[in-house]
Amino acid sequence: MYELEQIRVLFDEEVVSYLTNKNRGGISSAKGNTYENFFAIYQIALLSQIVIENNKDIRCSSQILAFVDDLIIDCQDETPLRHYQMKNSPNVAWGAGLKSIFDDFNKQYELNQSISRESEINLVVSNAKLKTSLEANILTTISEYSTVVYFPYDSNLVRVIQKEKAFQQAIEYLCAFDNPAPDKIECVATVLLGAWVSSDKSNVSIVDILRKAQESSPSFIRSFSQEWQLDPEVENILSKIEDFQYNLTKGFLDWEYKNGLDRGTLPYSVDTKQFGRFQEIVKRQQPTCFDELESFLI
């Protein structure tokens, strides 16, 4: 996103040296930074609905050569670049001069202007009182494009989700099930975290992260397709089976027999090869009753 030579044109060698050292240190410590990783998948989950339903190309970066680099979100067709600096400490101040948060925000704004992009720069803290204090003391110079955000810290991902309602709702959207149980929410969040941590975080698309998570647990994460439709021949076969009902929920085939006497969900979505094989078997075998169909539903 940013080239070293471009940065050298804007800033003196002391600033360039600070930035390259900052980037080197950030990369080496990023793998174990729980707070940053949890916040990143929170943002990815929040953006997943617009990515899936509107086919938006939204990209994320972390620990790249930038002044505010814990997380950068680029919505491509929207002008502002969204930068996040995470501070999981009770003692955070804006400061002044080189290496301060204020100076990093100021220089990030200048750097973004040089590539004709507006800035939305956020300081994320894990203490609600600290957020209020930082908001009250933000310097006018950066206040137009800077915001303080509260995001709770916990070493346990599930507890973070429980504390942040929007996080839970975003993960529920990604689940293959309506009203998912806590263990399903935990599974989806965990595989999403794994997909993010294992990604190349220099301009990775959110849809690629979601696909990587889905490949890890295809039975738990919704279909990304917007057109859920059975093969017409399969629809015709299933419609003729007595006491059998089905529907497509988030791209998964939910079925029940005799008003709930037996029920289940195929463990793969309509846009997978497994679902294609299921439809081919149904067309080939032409089941006429539930007993003949049941073995294909397992």
Domain extents in the chain: 4-216, 232-296
pLDDT for the residue numbered 102: 97
Structure confidence at residue 149 (pLDDT): 98
Element (H, E) at 185: helix 182-197
Output the pTM of the full model.
0.87
pLDDT of 265 reads 92
- pLDDT score at 56: 93
Q: What is the mean pLDDT of each run of 10 residues along the chain (298 residues)?
A: 82 82 64 86 97 94 94 88 95 94 97 94 97 96 97 95 96 93 94 95 95 91 87 96 94 93 92 92 96 93
pLDDT for residue 194: 96
Predicted pLDDT of residue 272: 87
